[in-house]
Amino acid sequence: MTSTYDAIILGAGHNGLILQAYLGKAGMKTIALERRAVAGGGLSTIEDSRLPGFLHNTHAFFLRAITAMPWYADLALERNGTQLIEPELNVALITGDGRALEWWTDIGKTIDSFAAFSLRDAATLRRWHDEFVPIVAQMLAPEARSPPLPPEERRALLSRTSAGRRLLTVSALSPLEFVEQEFEHPTIKAGLLFFNGLREVDLRLPGFGHHIAVLLASPAKAQMARGGSAALARALEAAVREAGGEIRLNTEPERIVVEGGRAVGIETRDGELIRAKHVVASSLNPHQTFLDLLDEDLLPREMRERAQRFRYNLLAPLFAMHLNLSEPPRYSASADHPELARAFMVILGLDHVDRFADIVRHHEAGTIPPTVMWGACPTLFDASQAPARRHTAFMWEKLPYRVHGDAENWDRLRDEHARAMFKLWQAHAPNLADAILGSFARTPLDTERDLPNKPSRRQHHRASRL
């Protein structure tokens, strides 16, 4: 059986769906092929099967700056029911001795919080923020919305202005070098590297030194979707369908069909041939796309080697612990910081910048580092994610994919590690012991089972973010 479309998209995660909606709006007849029974990829919200009404976001939850994305407006997602919530106390790092380093949507309040740790660092924060606001607005934001320039052309262009030269100089550093060079307080360094660094890129990588300053200067902060992350996926699906697109679930490609040096279609695992007149696009990872789905002799050797060399962020894999609760976590640190009752992202176990060296060392060795974790209580901001007067909360921790040399070990270690995380959580929020109604944990191996494009037995899973 053969069918023909203008465009075929592999994978119906948010990137695939957004592309498909745009192509549909441009008048193309499109189809997305998705291996799972539901579209949305990392925008996934599940209901606890043992306790109905408790919703848990099993992948992406902190959705950065979604309302500032051009596609959010272009695809009229609010018309399809999307609502993003951006809590004011966006991030709080709670230290072992009950202090709180806070990032607010209001930079003035963030600077005040930094000042309680170090006046010098608070002044440094203000300086970088003020310097990078125009760099983000005039250079990086427009750049992110345009086709990338060849590196030499970009460098030449940036070298023409003092702000551009500044950006080039700072970005030559790694995030770690940037923070060590600019800030003095160990908790501030740790917080910046964690919230503004580690979650996004490998903090040892040169070329990302500007990353922290950019995130500090960026107007849009972490957001969450009302109803759960899957609500955003449903709105994207609706946008695709409105534009005439088709999403074929439970369908996997066997190979990309190439004729005359062009990708012209997909053969599915069921033997169906789907032809594309104009576009075959893949949102799968480079190994799947270029090595698994394309015959070896069809790809120029150089491209094949680049796909083989593609490396995933060592520190990307996550372990997640999810709780059903009768009340939200009440942190002991709230005694001095009552605002913590409305904190969105909470970071625990990270008092000192030296923790990063530990985390990296353990990831390289495949062993479990001392617990540093971060998470949220979504129901503080969106009651629809649990039954009335009930709550959900979760914590994530970066842990090695191949634990003790083999990812399969996670099935044995899951419960033990969840208990260790809960112990730290409860040390900060003693009410959890009585508030807990149920829990479950998901390991880096569970993520791979769920979304095979993310991790890989060849490598670690990828770190691209929404």
Ligand X SMILES: Cc1cc2nc3c(=O)[nH]c(=O)nc-3n(C[C@H](O)[C@H](O)[C@H](O)COP(=O)(O)OP(=O)(O)OC[C@H]3O[C@@H](n4cnc5c(N)ncnc54)[C@H](O)[C@@H]3O)c2cc1C
Does 410 bind ligand X (CB under 6 A)? Our answer is no
Task: Give least dist CB 454 to ligand X, A.
Answer: 5
- Angle formed by the axes of helices 186-193 and 355-365, nearest 10°: 40
* Comparison of 34 and 48: residue with beta carbon closer to ligand X: 34
Does 454 bind ligand X (CB under 6 A)? Our answer is yes
The β-bridge partners of 4 are 275
Does 283 bind ligand X (CB under 6 A)? Our answer is yes
Does 12 bind ligand X (CB under 6 A)? Our answer is yes
Does 209 bind ligand X (CB under 6 A)? Our answer is no
Does 414 bind ligand X (CB under 6 A)? Our answer is no
Task: Give least dist CB 270 to ligand X, A.
Answer: 12
Which among 109-117, 129-137, 413-421, 458-466 is the span making contact with ligand X, rule CB under 6 A? 458-466
Residue type, 42: G
> How far apart (Å, rounded) are the C-alpha atoms in residues 85 and 382?
8
Does 36 bind ligand X (CB under 6 A)? Our answer is yes
Q: Which of 6, 25, 29, 35 binds ligand X (CB under 6 A)?
A: 35
Task: Give least dist CB 176 to ligand X, A.
Answer: 22
* Comparison of 37 and 388: residue with beta carbon closer to ligand X: 37
Which among 27-35, 242-250, 298-306, 334-342 is the span making contact with ligand X, rule CB under 6 A? 27-35
Does 14 bind ligand X (CB under 6 A)? Our answer is yes
* Strand blocks (E) in 234-338: 246-248, 253-259, 262-268, 273-282, 318-325
Query: Which residues, 6+ apart, have CB-to-CB distance to 6 below 8 Å?
Result: 23, 28, 29, 30, 276, 277, 278, 279
- Which has the closest alpha carbon to 61: 180, 226, 251, 193? 226
Q: In what order do the strands lie in the sheet with 345-348?
A: 100-104, 89-94, 345-348, 373-376, 391-398, 318-325, 436-442
The β-bridge partners of 281 are 9
Task: Give least dist CB 284 to ligand X, A.
Answer: 5
Task: Give least dist CB 111 to ligand X, A.
Answer: 25
Does 34 bind ligand X (CB under 6 A)? Our answer is yes
Report long-range pairs for 100-107 (Cβ below 8 Å, ≥24 apart). 100/333, 100/336, 100/337, 100/340, 100/343, 101/187, 101/188, 101/191, 102/337, 102/339, 102/343, 103/191, 103/195, 103/221, 105/221, 107/216
Burial of 179 (0-12, 13-18, 19+ CB in 10 A): buried
Does 62 bind ligand X (CB under 6 A)? Our answer is yes
* Comparison of 35 and 304: residue with beta carbon closer to ligand X: 35
Burial of 409 (0-12, 13-18, 19+ CB in 10 A): middle
- Which has the closest alpha carbon to 18: 65, 74, 93, 62? 74
Residue type, 77: L
Which among 138-146, 360-368, 398-406, 450-458 is the span making contact with ligand X, rule CB under 6 A? 450-458
Task: Give least dist CB 381 to ligand X, A.
Answer: 15
Query: Which residues, 6+ apart, have CB-to-CB distance to 38 below 8 Å?
Result: 44, 230, 233, 249
Q: Which of 82, 313, 371, 447 binds ligand X (CB under 6 A)?
A: 447
Does 439 bind ligand X (CB under 6 A)? Our answer is no
Which among 62-70, 152-160, 206-214, 356-364 is the span making contact with ligand X, rule CB under 6 A? 62-70
- Which has the closest alpha carbon to 193: 101, 107, 116, 115? 101
* Comparison of 191 and 317: residue with beta carbon closer to ligand X: 317
In contact, 227 and 382? CB cutoff 8 Å:
yes
Burial of 144 (0-12, 13-18, 19+ CB in 10 A): exposed
Does 98 bind ligand X (CB under 6 A)? Our answer is no
Does 69 bind ligand X (CB under 6 A)? Our answer is no
Does 16 bind ligand X (CB under 6 A)? Our answer is yes
Does 466 bind ligand X (CB under 6 A)? Our answer is yes
Strands 246-248 and 30-33: parallel
Q: Which of 5, 54, 61, 178 binds ligand X (CB under 6 A)?
A: 61
Does 20 bind ligand X (CB under 6 A)? Our answer is no
- Coil vs helix vs strand at 65: coil
Token reading at 12: 């119906």
Q: Which of 56, 59, 355, 390 binds ligand X (CB under 6 A)?
A: 59
Residue type, 125: L
Which among 9-17, 110-118, 242-250, 303-311 is the span making contact with ligand X, rule CB under 6 A? 9-17
Task: Give least dist CB 389 to ligand X, A.
Answer: 26
Does 66 bind ligand X (CB under 6 A)? Our answer is no
Q: Which of 7, 19, 33, 276 binds ligand X (CB under 6 A)?
A: 33
Does 320 bind ligand X (CB under 6 A)? Our answer is yes
Task: Give least dist CB 36 to ligand X, A.
Answer: 4
Token reading at 44: 């996934």
Q: Could you say which residues in the range 253-272 bind ligand X, by CB under 6 A? A: 253
Give the N- to C-terminal CA distance of the chain in Å, as an integer. Answer: 36
Task: Give least dist CB 117 to ligand X, A.
Answer: 26
Residues that bind ligand X (CB under 6 A): 10-16, 33-36, 41-42, 59-64, 252-253, 283-284, 288, 318, 320, 447, 451-454, 464-466
